[in-house]
Amino acid sequence: MHFAFTEQQLEFQSALRSVLENECTPDHLRAAFADPSADAGRWTTLDEMGVVSLTVPEENGGLGLGLVDLVLLLEEAGRAALPEPLVETTAMAAPVLAALAGRHDRCQRALEALVGGGLKMAVSQSADPLVPVAGALGADAVLMTVVRDGIREIHLVPTNGDGPEVARPEPVSTLDPTRLVGRFTSDPTGSATSIATGDEAERLWGDLEQRAFVATGAFLLGLAERMITITVDYAKDRKQFGQPIGSFQAVKHLLAGAQVKLEFARPCVYAAAWMIDQGDPSAARNASTAKAYASEAATEAARVCLQAHGAIGYTWECDLQLYLKRSWALAEAWGSADDHRQLVLDSLVDEFG
Amino acid sequence: MTEKSMDLHFTADQEAFRLEARHWLTAHVPPAGSLPSLDTAEGFEAHRAWEQTMFADSWSVVAWPREFGGRDVGLLEWLIFEEEYWRAQAPLRVSQNGIFLLAPTLFEFGTPDQQARFLPPMASGAEIWCQGWSEPDAGSDLAGIRSRARRSDSEGGWLLSGQKTWASRGAFAEWCFGLFRTDPEAERHRGLTYFLIDLATPGVTVRPIPQIDGETGFAEIFFEDVFVPDAHVLGDVGQGWNVAMATAGSERGLSLRSPARYTEAARRLVALYASRAGDAKARRLSGDVAQAWMDAEAYRLNTFFTATRVLNGGSVGPEASANKIHWSETDLAIHRTALALLGPDAERHGGHEGNAWLDGYLFALAGPIYAGTNEIQRNVVAERMLGLPRK
Ligand SMILES: Cc1cc2nc3c(=O)[nH]c(=O)nc-3n(C[C@H](O)[C@H](O)[C@H](O)COP(=O)(O)OP(=O)(O)OC[C@H]3O[C@@H](n4cnc5c(N)ncnc54)[C@H](O)[C@@H]3O)c2cc1C
């Protein structure tokens, strides 16, 4: 039992933090809000650091690392509310592309573009191909699943370039415009886009979902911490009744409650990442625990941080909004806390019931 | 040197230790619920006898050095032992104030003579300890303690006077560790000293207090010029606050509440739910059942995360306060959910069948109060983890 990260993992985390502190500031986020499709150059930076291809096997040019290596980086991405699709590309899609690259040219080419080529991926959460997909507008391709006649299929749908299989999503307007949500107006999946079916597709998609829960959870941890930090700073500074509002016990207890939730969400996310890397048979349950806990932690942080700001927190001008909106979106994405509680319960009843 | 990467498995040796503990417990643990309540005179002695059974085979304090009755195993092995202990539904530990709270403080601050004198009978259950900190006018504001200790040079010790209250197990315990004011002139936190007090000393009066369930789970203790020799001062005179904070860290942090207590209760909650899973009421409570299990699981994981940090030379600071909030709320959530599942049966109590969930709930209700109330812990989290201003 050694439940800790290595020096190297912690150093990678702080290196990414320094980069994002310069390249993903609230001003940058505001620029992204104004023009979400503009390229801020961050994706190239992340690519050059090896972050984007971290989970790609070494023989394909990546770092060949796992989710335990990635979670701290995703937490940093969350702290910065990174607009680029690191969760989708690196945590979710890359292992699927790598698993199929030997058999499908399209996966092989996508993987090559992912390593050093700036490829961005989006992943659909629903088996209904017409349901909006986060990140679809900014992505080069969307990984989708459909179930036809009870058989699961996975598709790689390109969204730019030409060719008959290319499908262009149309914009869906959302509160946080950097989510770049898009929707296909007709089913873009077909034999030209199919990359896996049947048992293999079930397994690959099941694994992808577990990674999605944990990776989104890690991002939410970062968001929660950022919101609490912003609010603690504000509460030390803002005075009412002649004293900092952070000295009022009502304000302290709001923030302490959120901090406790965050403290206990963290090990849930880290342990689930490790279990997934190990192929542990209980990984699914812990991945759901991680997402449920992280969603609750971020939702609670968002609530109390807005409250502790008073009216200024309700403004466009206040940076808090940049992180609130992402938290609200991600708390629901890839299953809400409630959805995951049901998944956890089903698996518990199977085991202990 | 390659650095160790994350690994949540136990070693083969640790798994062997687990099996050894499991076998011993299977052979020795009395049937669940068969001992009378430890807050009755009869139950207290039955629980003491259980401590002696464990001690005889060196299972009562596994993490202590062998010379004091332990097995000299590490923190992780202790956590493994606790997992097995709770899985076996073994009796509550009547000696918990001694072995979990005082002992870590004795190891840190005690002289070799004090360790040799006090640890073995603590481990065997021959001497059971209670904690004498709270007073009628000093609860959350513990530094407001008024009980006094006056110097008696002629006798080579101290004369204690005043009143302590809410001392758990105090009704039947032999010894008490307590904080007394030795320097009334000094600043509130400075003039306190930590004493080890034999409750059979003349001048001590113990008055048991019935708790919410009617049993005398705690007591008030009156002191009238009670003599305590210098040899029974723990740490330096005037340093009682610092010594006490080490005990408080154990109480809120790693040692008092091992996660197994909650993971086991959560497992039983799931079984209760499954036995009623057809009910509409159970279905409505399904989210609460899952959340209670996850709260226990989060506590378990956080404990191993913290234990790793401690084993690597780190310490537990104000996180102990976050910990205390979490375990106390988890305990409540588990039991509240169980009672909700039981519905109209939840009120049944005592008698032939008893109702362990209700007893557990009553006990859980005290969790946010003792070991420093959760409001006080939130102050600590806000001020010392987040850095918000004190005033
Ligand atoms: C079952 C049980 C066992 C116990 N066992 C022991 C024992 O063995 N030994 C021992 O010494 N003590 C023991 N205690 C006592 C326990 O430590 C105290 O009850 C606790 O410290 C609170 O003190 P109090 O009861 O005087 O409440 P008070 O301090 O009067 O508090 C009453 C309420 O006011 C709130 N409050 C007080 N101050 C503040 C503040 N600054 N900010 C916000 N809220 C505040 C509290 O949170 C609480 O809700 C036990 C208590 C219980 C219930």
Give ipTM to 2 decimals.
0.97
**Percentage above 90 pLDDT, chain B:** 91
**Nearest protein Cα to ligand 1, atom 16:** B370
Residues paired with B158 in a beta bridge = B151, B228
A:B CB pairs within 8 Å = 167
Residue B371 C-alpha to ligand 1 middle, in angstroms?
Answer: 8
**Contact residues on chain A for B5, CB-CB shorter than 8 A:** 2, 6, 68
CB contact under 8 A, B378 and A252: yes
Q: Which of B148, B217, B234 is nearest to B365 (CA)?
A: B217
* CATH number of the domain where residue A345 is located: 1.20.140.10
Q: Output DSSP code: residue B138.
A: B
Residue window 187-246, chain B: list those with CB within 8 Å of chain A: none
Q: Does residue A334 lie in a domain region?
A: yes
Residue B140 C-alpha to ligand 1 middle, in angstroms?
Answer: 5
Q: Does residue A326 lie in a domain region?
A: yes
**Which tokens is A313 given?**
């927190």
Task: Tell me if B177 CB under 6 Å of ligand 1.
Answer: no
**Nearest protein Cα to ligand 1, atom 51:** B370
CB contact under 8 A, B298 and A293: yes
Which one of A244, A260, A341 has the shortest CB-CB distance to B326?
Answer: A260
Q: Considering chain B, tell me which residue range(s) the CATH 1.20.140.10 domain(s) occupy.
A: 257-385
Task: Tell me if B176 CB under 6 Å of ligand 1.
Answer: no
CB contact under 8 A, B302 and A263: yes
B136 Cα distance to chain centroid: 22
CB contact under 8 A, B297 and A289: yes
Q: Does residue A302 lie in a domain region?
A: yes
CB contact under 8 A, B294 and A5: no
Q: Does residue A298 lie in a domain region?
A: yes
3-state secondary structure of B28: helix
Could you give the C-alpha distances from A339 to A42, A314, B213, B334, in angstroms and in order?
33, 29, 38, 20
Q: What's at A205, amino acid-wise? A: W
Euclidean distance between CA atoms B52 and B32, whole angstroms: 18
**Chain B interface includes A233 (CB < 8 A):** no
Could you give the C-alpha distances from A40 to A31, A273, A325, B243, in angstroms and in order?
9, 30, 20, 55
Q: Which one of B283, B301, B321, B341 would you mutate to disrupt binding with A, by most A Cβ within 10 Å of its Cβ?
A: B301
Q: Considering chain B, tell me which residue range(s) the CATH 2.40.110.10 domain(s) occupy.
A: 130-241
Q: Which of A288, A314, A294, A316 is nearest to A74 (CA)?
A: A294
Other C-beta atoms closer than 10 Å to the C-beta of A241 total: 8
Could you give the C-alpha distances from A305 to A77, A193, A233, A251, B85, in angstroms and in order?
20, 44, 11, 9, 42
**Which tokens is B341 given?**
């599942």
- So what's the pLDDT on residue B2? 58
Q: Does residue A237 lie in a domain region?
A: yes
Are A53 and A112 within 8 A, CB to CB? no
Which one of A251, A260, A268 has the shortest CB-CB distance to B325?
Answer: A260
Counted domains in chain A: 1
Could you give the C-alpha distances from A118 to A42, A46, A51, A56, B5, in angstroms and in order?
10, 9, 12, 14, 30
**Which tokens is A29 given?**
């986020």
Residue in the structure block whose two tokens are 């060196």: B58
- pLDDT per residue as tens, chain A (353 positions): 999 999 999 999 999 999 999 999 999 999 999 999 888 899 999 999 999 999 999 999 999 999 999 999 999 999 999 999 999 999 999 999 999 999 999 999 999 999 988 899 999 999 999 999 999 999 999 999 999 999 999 999 999 988 899 999 999 999 999 999 999 999 999 999 999 999 999 999 999 999 999 999 999 999 999 999 999 999 999 999 999 999 999 999 999 999 999 999 999 999 999 999 999 999 999 999 999 999 999 999 999 999 999 999 999 999 999 999 999 999 999 999 999 999 999 999 998 87
Euclidean distance between CA atoms B91 and B13, whole angstroms: 26
* Segments of B192-286 assigned E as strands: 192-198, 204-209, 218-229, 233-234
Radius of gyration of chain B (CA): 21
**Contact residues on chain A for B297, CB-CB shorter than 8 A:** 268, 286, 289
**Contact residues on chain B for A289, CB-CB shorter than 8 A:** 294, 297-298
Kindly give the parts of chain B with pLDDT less than 50.
Answer: 1
Euclidean distance between CA atoms B305 and A1, whole angstroms: 9
Kindly list the strands in the beta sheet with A151-158, ordered across the sheet, starting from the edge strand earlier in the chain. A121-123, A141-148, A151-158, A194-197
A67: closest CA of chain B, how far (Å): 11
Cβ partners under 8 Å of residue A31, min gap 6? A38, A40
Q: Which one of B2, B294, B312 would you mutate to disrupt binding with A, by most A Cβ within 10 Å of its Cβ?
A: B294
> CATH number of the domain at B257-385, please?
1.20.140.10
Q: Does residue A6 lie in a domain region?
A: no
B250-296 residue pLDDT tens: 777 777 789 999 999 999 999 999 999 889 999 999 999 999 999 99
Euclidean distance between CA atoms B385 and A262, whole angstroms: 12
- So what's the pLDDT on residue B10? 97
**Contact residues on chain B for A249, CB-CB shorter than 8 A:** 379
3-state secondary structure of B223: strand
Q: Let me know if B251 is a catalytic residue.
A: yes
Q: Does residue A86 lie in a domain region?
A: no
> A2: alpha, beta or left, given left = phi > 0 and alpha = psi -120 to 50?
beta
> A71: alpha, beta or left, given left = phi > 0 and alpha = psi -120 to 50?
alpha
- So what's the pLDDT on residue B353? 76
CB contact under 8 A, A286 and B319: no
Which one of B11, B293, B308 has the shortest CB-CB distance to A3?
Answer: B308
Euclidean distance between CA atoms B257 and A150, whole angstroms: 48
Q: List b or e across B156-165, with b for residues whose CB sees 16 or more CB atoms inside 10 angstroms.
A: ebbbbbbbbb
Q: Does residue A104 lie in a domain region?
A: no
Are B389 and A241 within 8 A, CB to CB? no
CB contact under 8 A, A252 and B379: yes
Q: Output DSSP code: residue B344.
A: G
% helix / strand / coil in chain A, to the nearest 5? 60, 10, 30
Which residues constitute the domain of residue A233? 200-352
| CATH 3.40.50.1860 at B130-241, yes or no | no
